[in-house]
Amino acid sequence: MYWRERKHFIYAVFVIVVVISLTFSLRGLPMRTFWSSLLFGMTVLIIFSGYDYYQFQRRHHQRLQQVIPQVDLSPQSQAEKDMLKLLEEQKEYYETKIAAVKHFDDDLTDVVRIWSHQMKVPLSVLNLMGQTGDFTQVELKEQTFQLENYLEMLLHYLRLNHEQTDYRFTKVPMKPLVQSIVRKFAPLFIRKGLSVTVDGDATWTTDEKWLGFALEQIISNSVKYTKQGNVSIQIKAKSIQISDTGIGILKEDLPRLFEHGFTGYNGRRDKKATGLGFFLAKEVTGRLSLSIHVDSEIDKGTTVTLKRNDGA
């Protein structure tokens, strides 16, 4: 700022030095005298400039003090100490909230990008059906089912991260809940010729809607990646196991399975894979005090286990 305000003065000094040097040179005057004079003049100029810079900074500081007066935050009493502590806690709270909002915005951008990729597939199929007129009612229902499923996935993700999302914990019979989800995916089981078994029963204290959503993501993956064989669901007092005879998951992919958007080996084999299912299942189960664990072997199948972490 200082040098910008004094640039014309600096240019003038430079021009004067050049003119004097040319005068000495053209008139054949001894250059030793010129250099001695220049050294003396520069010494005086540096001293003057230093004083001028000091005055400039002092005036600048005074102007800032007039606009933004200095505030002494040193507490003078216990009440002031408590107030400052409260303000500091509020500051940390809102900084944490802002960081959380930014993190959610970043995640939401990625989720919508991945979700858009998912939606393109059934929409393209429906568009092709409309152009060719070559489709059956079963194929039409399957594509609309996929669209509904993907839309429901996005809506649940938005609700999951909303501050006003509430959880209603009630005693929920597990077998009817699991059977209702199996019936939802029945057309896919039938089309792929897969058998499904639901064994055991238990009553859990949980949120039926959110647990059902998590189970849907797991069962959906089982159906998607199982070409032949069966899907079996075992319900116990403390756990639910969902096993399939599908393509399996690489051992090195398991630690990253629940990461946002991670598809791994399955994603390379199935170009429609997005990695949202397990990510959302992990998010939901964590909020329901459940743990989720996956065991898998390539070309042999996958077992997903939900366990209760409560003492009930």
Mark residue 301 as left, alpha or beta (left: phi above 0; alpha: psi -120 to 50; beta: remaining). Answer: left
pLDDT of res. 163: 58
Share of residues in the chain with pLDDT > 90 (%): 27
Residue 73 has pLDDT above 70, yes or no: no
pLDDT of res. 312: 47
pLDDT of res. 274: 57
Domain definitions of the chain by residue range? 2-67, 101-165, 168-312
85 versus 261: which is more confidently predicted?
A: 85
CB atoms within 10 A of CB 232: 18
pLDDT of res. 45: 82
**pLDDT-based confidence at 80, cuts 50/70/90?**
confident
Mark residue 174 as left, alpha or beta (left: phi above 0; alpha: psi -120 to 50; beta: remaining). Answer: alpha
**pLDDT-based confidence at 40, cuts 50/70/90?**
confident
**pLDDT-based confidence at 241, cuts 50/70/90?**
very high
Pick the CATH number of 168-312 from 2.60.40.10, 3.30.565.10, 3.40.50.300, 3.80.30.20: 3.30.565.10
pLDDT of res. 69: 56
pLDDT of res. 131: 84
Q: What one-character DSSP code corresponds to residue 257? A: T
Structure tokens at 235: 């319900």
248 versus 38: which is more confidently predicted?
A: 248
DSSP H or E segment with residue 52: helix 31-67
Share of residues in the chain with pLDDT > 70 (%): 87
Residue 268 has pLDDT above 70, yes or no: no
C-alpha span between 278 and 258 (Å, rounded): 5
